[in-house]
Amino acid sequence: MSAPTGTAAVVLHAGAGSIGAELRECEQECRAALAEALGAASALLHDGGDALDAVRAAVTVMEDFPLFNSGRGAALCTDGSAQLSAALMRGSDRAAGAVAGISHTQNPIAAAGAVLQSEQVLMIAAGADERAAAAGLAQQPNEYFVTARQQARLQSSVDPDRGTVGAVCLDAKGVLAAGTSTGGVRAQPPGRVGDSPLIGAGTWADGRVAVSCTGDGEAFIRTGAARQIAMQVEFGTPIRVAVERALVDVATLGANGGIIALDAEGVPAMVFGTAAMPRALWRAGSEPSIWVAP
């Protein structure tokens, strides 16, 4: 199914979670980061760029913003290290690449892109960083990702305002793409992997829909959330209903989160069961919209 020129669209999220004092205090900075990410993706699409490149551009901006839980500023493991995961998928041919538990590649979404170019789909830890380095991607000591803010949060018991990031894009040729990037959850045991880098759980794109999830990762894995939405859309369920049903399924496991999705007509869905999910939307010919809290 291909969309006519002019239906290009971008939807972003920066994690489903609570509205802590911090989110209120940093609302303007978060809004500016989302605007920059939206601008990077929409400029590419406006100029005829690919959905996959637009997703990568938006997620890269959000990874570099230290208040989101991805790239620099990611949530920390119990041992104080940052372990990063990301996935990227193109709907037209279901090309997919993902990395889990990496420690050195400056932009995990770029590492996922390097895997997407290869025969593999998912690479982990040192082997994934080595693949990214071999592809010429910038490497950093793990301390680069560790911010004083996240070190303080590791010691605190405040509710997580999670901050995982994701993007779904539709280009003028009708191709959909999705990407998600995360540091996981605060104080996770080293080696824990959530849904974000798992194709079909936290990230998915096919010819009909692109999906990026955020929230209690184990429940998104156990419900096959992203793929379940795609199946529903395939059988004719409107995208928003499909997303709501997937979140209901997550809730039946006692878990919570949020999902962004985009269909091949450019119809977006942004649904969350948490207090907030910073998010942004751009559609060709329309003004961008950005929501931080709620």
Binding site for ligand ASP (CB under 6 A): 15, 162, 164, 182, 184-185, 194-196, 202, 214-215, 217
- Residue 146 CB, shortest distance to ligand ASP, in Å, is 17
- Residue 288 CB, shortest distance to ligand ASP, in Å, is 23
Q: Which is nearer to ligand ASP, 217 or 266 (CB)?
A: 217
164 is a catalytic site residue: yes
Q: Which is nearer to ligand ASP, 105 or 180 (CB)?
A: 180
- Residue 272 CB, shortest distance to ligand ASP, in Å, is 11
- Residue 217 CB, shortest distance to ligand ASP, in Å, is 2
Q: Which is nearer to ligand ASP, 91 or 215 (CB)?
A: 215
Q: Which is nearer to ligand ASP, 172 or 204 (CB)?
A: 204
- Residue 95 CB, shortest distance to ligand ASP, in Å, is 23
Residue nearest ligand ASP, Cβ-based: 217
Q: Which is nearer to ligand ASP, 45 or 165 (CB)?
A: 165
3-state secondary structure 105-153: ECCHHHHHHHHHCCCCCEEEHHHHHHHHHHCCCCECCHHHHCCHHHHHH
Q: Which is nearer to ligand ASP, 82 or 284 (CB)?
A: 82
- Please, what is the end-to-end C-alpha distance for the chain in angstroms? 34
What would the DSSP string read from start to end of the chain? --PPTT--EEEEE---B---HHHHHTHHHHHHHHHHHHHHHHHHHHTT--HHHHHHHHHHHHHHSTTSSSSTT---BTTS---EEEEEEETTTTEEEEEEEESSBS-HHHHHHHHHTSS-SEEEHHHHHHHHHHTT--B--GGGG--HHHHHHHH--PPP----EEEEEE-TTS-EEEEEEE--STTBPTT---STTSBTTTEEE-SSEEEEEEE-HHHHHHTTHHHHHHHHHHTT--HHHHHHHHHHHHHHTT--EEEEEEETT--EEEEESSSB--EEEEETTS--EEE---
- Residue 198 CB, shortest distance to ligand ASP, in Å, is 10
Choosing from 7, 60, 105, 164, the catalytic residue is: 164
The catalytic site residues sit at 164
